[in-house]
């Protein structure tokens, strides 16, 4: 080893450089590059963002035709350019219907290149005239979708869109491509609240969330008779005696109360007739005290009739 023109490596040259955490400057550069990519590129088709542009509840931007292609069945799409499996990872279940996105309306300025002669669109804030993109905090309003810089929205005293004059709530100001943990958690909480109310990101009713309950209909029993709803039970089943017409006072329906009152009265009259008839039948079986003291000389009731012999006149 040696005298061969080579060199002997030392220990510090053999040991690899220790891993280290990225610096703040490196983190900012990486975040800026990522923001610039998502401000200019559709993450589903990986094509350049071009109007019309839509956004989901998390503030991500997409080409509208890419979202429509994703929502359509695979058999109905001609020349499919979207991988559904990769798209599911990007969307993370945020888009299941067209109502889950809002069309974002940018104020556009056109830059005409003097050398190339091309026309390039530039998205700007209509209030501050500042170019919107990576490094600039921008927001849009739900449901109108107009885009402003965050600084301009904070200066608005009245919660109305400066473009269309439509009212909006403070919680419906959606940051575009948010990076702070507070914004991300607020958007997540907002969607949780909207789902509990049966609404989507666009503040429209969620599919299947506004179904009306069916009204109770009379059911028929095994004998073919209709069962009355729980609130009117007792009309077909006539109440038995010892009831008063005052019991119908709890029935709110006037027609129903009238019918019930008539049934109660008829049953009460029928019961009285039954009692009178019963007493007359019983009287016919027994003799009165006057009849017992008659000249016949024997009892005319059913207990002794036919067994006692009457007295005859002696000749």
Q: Tell me, what's the pLDDT at 189?
A: 96
**DSSP H helical ranges for the chain:** 11-14, 24-40, 64-71, 84-91, 150-154, 181-196, 254-285, 289-292
Q: Which domains does the chain have, with CATH numbers?
A: 25-196 (3.30.40.10), 235-292 (no CATH)
Among candidate residues 116, 107, 146, 132, the one with its CA nearest the CA of residue 36: 132
CA atoms of 63 and 177, how far apart (whole Å): 15
pTM of the model: 0.60
Per-residue model confidence (pLDDT) at position 73: 82
Whole-angstrom CA distances from 198 to 102, 160, 191, 241, 297 are: 17, 24, 10, 52, 96
| In contact, 191 and 57? CB cutoff 8 Å | yes
pLDDT at 31: 87
| Contacts within 8 Å (CB) and 24+ apart, 164-167 | 166/141
Q: Return averaged pLDDT per consecutive 10 residues of the chain, 315 residues in all.
A: 68 67 85 92 93 95 94 68 87 93 94 63 92 93 95 87 92 94 95 95 84 52 49 45 45 63 77 68 59 50 51 49
Contact between 8 and 1 (Cβ < 8 Å) = yes
Query: Which sign, positive or negative, has the C-alpha torsion 79, 84, 86, 90?
Result: positive
The torsion angle over the Cα atoms of residues 153, 159, 161 and 164, rounded to 10 degrees, is -170
Task: Output the pLDDT for position 231.
Answer: 46
Residues pairing with 146 in the sheet: 105
User: In Å, what is the CA distance from 11 to each residue of 7, 14, 19, 154, 252?
Assistant: 13, 5, 17, 59, 98
- Identify the DSSP state of 75: G
């Amino acid at each position: 080893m040696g005298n061969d023109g080579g060199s002997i490596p030392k220990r510090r040259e053999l040991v690899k450089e220790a891993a280290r955490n990225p610096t703040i400057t490196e983190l900012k550069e990486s975040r800026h590059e990522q923001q610039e990519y998502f401000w200019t590129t559709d993450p589903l088709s990986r094509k350049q963002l071009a109007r019309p542009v839509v956004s989901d509840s998390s503030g991500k931007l997409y080409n509208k035709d890419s979202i429509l292609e994703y929502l359509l069945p695979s058999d109905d799409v001609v020349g499919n350019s979207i991988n559904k499996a990769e798209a599911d990872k990007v969307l993370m279940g945020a888009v299941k219907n067209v109502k889950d996105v809002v069309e974002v309306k940018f104020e556009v300025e056109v830059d005409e290149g003097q050398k190339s002669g091309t026309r390039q669109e530039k998205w700007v804030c209509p209030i501050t005239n500042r170019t919107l993109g990576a490094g600039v905090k921008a927001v849009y309003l739900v449901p109108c979708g107009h885009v402003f810089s965050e600084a301009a929205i904070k200066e608005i005293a009245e919660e109305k869109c400066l473009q269309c004059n439509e009212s909006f709530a403070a919680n419906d100001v959606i940051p575009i491509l948010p990076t702070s943990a507070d914004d991300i958690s607020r958007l997540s909480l907002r969607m949780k609240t909207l789902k509990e109310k049966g609404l989507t990101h666009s503040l429209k009713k969620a599919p299947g969330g506004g179904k009306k309950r069916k009204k109770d209909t009379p059911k028929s029993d095994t004998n073919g008779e209709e069962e009355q709803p729980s609130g009117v039970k007792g009309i077909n089943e006539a109440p038995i005696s010892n009831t008063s017409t005052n019991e119908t006072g709890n029935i709110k329906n006037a027609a129903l109360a009238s019918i019930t009152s008539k049934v109660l009265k008829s049953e009460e009259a029928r019961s009285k007739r039954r009692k009178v008839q019963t007493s007359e039948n019983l009287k016919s079986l027994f003799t009165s005290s006057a009849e017992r003291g008659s000249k016949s000389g024997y009892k005319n009731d059913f207990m002794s009739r036919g067994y006692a012999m009457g007295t005859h006149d002696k000749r």
